[in-house]
């Protein structure tokens, strides 16, 4: 069975984009692959989070993963900082990675532009830490979005270079894993792009009904259809995407017909979207709150996940030390 690894930074609550774009697929993958899921709290240090936020955020993401259907009995869920072996492999990979390669990574250049007063070494070597997260489990596949494709190429380069330097075929070159031919892009409520925390255009899985309705009613629209059967502009097609995600086919067809005959009222459309989104989010939110109320259970799940992940990482690191020439044991 192929091994799959995926992680998420604990920088806030999961939103509908995370849920439909990845987490629903994770739930299916755990039955079809040998999966490990982790919460990348070391990666979050590039933005200097407060100490209290680190553990609280990790527990929040864990509770949300569980509420969405991830089963720790099928796939370990662990916190990155609980697997210390990652750091040693990170060191070895850094020794074989060149400054120019890291400086050319697009995500590094973008982050450096956005935070010019905090261009730290961790930001520069983000790709090699990500490579260590993957290669320590000798994963064959990694679910990624387009923004991580260059980092994945760096992970493959790290694996390939290690194998070439030491004349071995130890690390597989991890491949990008896509859930479908075309990844589902959940739009934001601002009428452009996709849903994302930094854009402030999200509906979170922890949002209550009142908050969801308020956000949806503020969604960007235009003057409305002027010509029968006309093509919908992006801001309106975004609203119809929410109908596709959360409403029945009959509901979608009803509003599609209203658009085509130029009788669509955006207020009615938004009320329907808000109602159906509330029905989708409410049961997930209830489970999130149940898990968050049981801190001991969350810590136990994370601890057990880390034990399984550490065994996988330790087996890899033992062989890496032997290959490089360091004492083993």
User: Residue 155: enclosing H or E segment and its boundaries?
Assistant: helix 149-166
Would you call 185 a catalytic residue per the annotation?
no
User: What is the C-alpha to C-alpha distance for residues 218 and 328, in angstroms, rounded to an integer?
Assistant: 60
Can you give 168-208 as a three-state secondary structure string? CCCCCCCEEECCCCCCCCCECCCCCCECCCCCCCCCECCCC
Which residue out of 74, 84, 109, 197 is catalytically annotated? 197
SS3 38: strand
Would you call 194 a catalytic residue per the annotation?
yes
User: What is the C-alpha to C-alpha distance for residues 187 and 121, in angstroms, rounded to an integer?
Assistant: 33
Residue whose tokens read 């380069």: 157
Which residue out of 24, 185, 194, 271 is catalytically annotated? 194
User: What is the C-alpha to C-alpha distance for residues 276 and 279, in angstroms, rounded to an integer?
Assistant: 5
Which residue out of 50, 74, 109, 111 is catalytically annotated? 111
User: What is the C-alpha to C-alpha distance for residues 303 and 310, in angstroms, rounded to an integer?
Assistant: 10
Cβ 41 vs Cβ 79: under 8 Å: yes
Residue whose tokens read 């982790």: 38
Distance, C-alpha 118 to centroid of its chain: 24
Phi/psi at 4 (5° precision): -125, 135
Tell me the catalytic residues.
111, 194, 197
């Amino acid at each position: 069975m192929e091994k799959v690894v995926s992680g998420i930074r604990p920088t806030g609550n999961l939103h509908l984009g995370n849920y439909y774009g990845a987490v629903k697929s994770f739930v299916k993958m755990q039955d079809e692959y040998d999966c490990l899921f982790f919460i990348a709290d070391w990666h979050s240090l590039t933005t200097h989070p407060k100490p209290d936020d680190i553990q609280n955020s990790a527990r929040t993401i864990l509770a949300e993963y569980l509420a969405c259907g991830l089963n720790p009995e099928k796939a370990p869920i662990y916190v990155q900082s609980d697997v210390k072996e990652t750091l040693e492999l990170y060191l070895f990979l850094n020794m074989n990675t060149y400054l120019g390669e890291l400086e050319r990574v697009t995500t590094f250049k973008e982050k450096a532009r956005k935070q010019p007063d905090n261009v730290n070494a961790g930001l520069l070597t983000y790709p090699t830490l990500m490579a260590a997260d993957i290669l320590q489990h000798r994963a064959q596949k990694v679910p990624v979005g387009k923004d991580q494709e260059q980092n994945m190429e760096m992970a493959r380069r790290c694996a390939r270079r290690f194998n070439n330097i030491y004349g071995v075929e130890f690390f597989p070159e991890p491949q990008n894993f896509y859930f479908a031919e075309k990844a589902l892009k959940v739009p934001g409520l601002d009428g452009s792009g996709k849903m994302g925390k930094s854009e402030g255009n999200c509906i979170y899985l922890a949002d209550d009904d009142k908050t969801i309705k308020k956000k949806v009613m503020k969604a960007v629209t235009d003057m409305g259809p002027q010509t029968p059967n006309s093509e919908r502009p992006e801001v309106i097609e975004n609203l119809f995407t929410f109908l596709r995600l959360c409403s029945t086919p009959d509901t979608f067809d009803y509003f599609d017909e209203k658009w085509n005959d130029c009788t669509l009222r955006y207020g009615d459309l938004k009320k329907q979207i808000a109602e159906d989104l509330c029905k989708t989010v409410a049961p997930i939110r209830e489970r999130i709150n149940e898990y968050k109320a049981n801190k001991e259970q969350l810590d136990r799940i994370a601890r057990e996940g880390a034990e399984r992940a550490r065994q996988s990482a330790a087996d890899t690191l033992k062989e890496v030390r032997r290959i490089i020439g360091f004492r083993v044991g």
